[in-house]
Amino acid sequence: MNKVKFIYNPYSGESNIISNIDNVIMIHQKYGYEVMPFRIGSDYSIEETLKEIDETYKYVLIAGGDGTVDNVVNHMKKLNINIPIAILPVGTANDFAKFIGMPHKIKSACEQILNSSPKSVDIGKINDKYFINVASAGLFTDVSQKIDINLKNTIGKLAYYVKGLEQLPSLRNIKVKVKSEDAVFDGNMYLFMVFNGQTAGNLKFAYKAEIDDGMLDVIIVKAVVIKDIITIFIKMIRGDHLENTPGLVYFKANKLEIECDEGIVTDIDGERGPDFPLSIECVKHGIQVLGINNPQIIK
């Protein structure tokens, strides 16, 4: 019988994966798969459970948010494990899973995965870490790191906005230098985001992003007057196109370098990222994914 390594985060979102484990196993057995579950916890090593993978395993099923997926993907890359992944979106933020068209219901997601073929998609790499959706620094980008886990699990996405509003009084200019093959930004900013996906906090910022073009979408919000900042964020929230927006830079790059001496933290999909300087690149077709069902990205 073919095997599936099932790695789940019991603390993701509202912990609804706990009550659905039997459904995951039942549906996979119906399709002739043996599910080998692993519960993420501080006393257990993801790396050790991944070392069990051999030729009998067909894919790794990950239940969690973007941060959980990043964690598993980084361990897979470290161990040179090249089988496909599939995602059950049970976290508070599931931006990448929504981008690829995964349904929220566990049963529907399992059926979609099991009736699909793997597709090679891009992933981002920032210094020695990989990310699937977005790397960022500046205003709001460390919000998820500061949210109390109980608040996050109780009020979900609203917790991000509550914590983000608390940061507005500390709005400050950040001096950065961003350099790619075709673009250079050397000045003050409030925020930069480097997307492999399209959304952050379920808001579509990188509406031009494609999943397999070998490029990352870079958005920089310059340190400009407050009225321009308000205009920029209204356009972002409404999903408007951002070309020719005063105070904003948007370009594509397959590689870029970012320097900053101000001691700010970076964020990769809701988890703390590496320190500056940053070397960021797109790893074209860096991983295979099952279950993709978004007409915009299926070719």
Q: Report the run of H or E that residue 121 belongs to, with start and end.
A: strand 119-126
User: Considering only CA atoms, which of 290, 285, 255 is closest in space to residue 123?
Assistant: 285
Confidence (pLDDT) at 298:
59
Confidence (pLDDT) at 15:
72
DSSP tag of 169: G
Asked if 260 and 227 count as a contact pair (C-beta separation under 8 A), the reply is: no
pTM to 2 decimal places: 0.88
Asked if 240 and 280 count as a contact pair (C-beta separation under 8 A), the reply is: no
What is the distance between the alpha carbons of residues 262 and 130, in angstroms, rounded to a whole number? Answer: 24
Q: Is 189 helix (H, G, I), strand (E, B) or coil?
A: strand
Confidence (pLDDT) at 170:
58
| Domains, the chain | 2-115 (3.40.50.10330), 129-284 (2.60.200.40)
For the record, the structure tokens of 233 come out as 């964020």
What is the distance between the alpha carbons of residues 251 and 145, in angstroms, rounded to a whole number? Answer: 27
What is the distance between the alpha carbons of residues 268 and 265, in angstroms, rounded to a whole number? Answer: 10
DSSP tag of 269: T
Q: Which residues of the chain have pLDDT under 50?
A: 145, 147, 149-165
Confidence (pLDDT) at 43:
82
Residue with token string 């979900």: 156
Q: Report the run of H or E that residue 113 belongs to, with start and end.
A: helix 106-114
For the record, the structure tokens of 199 come out as 């959304």
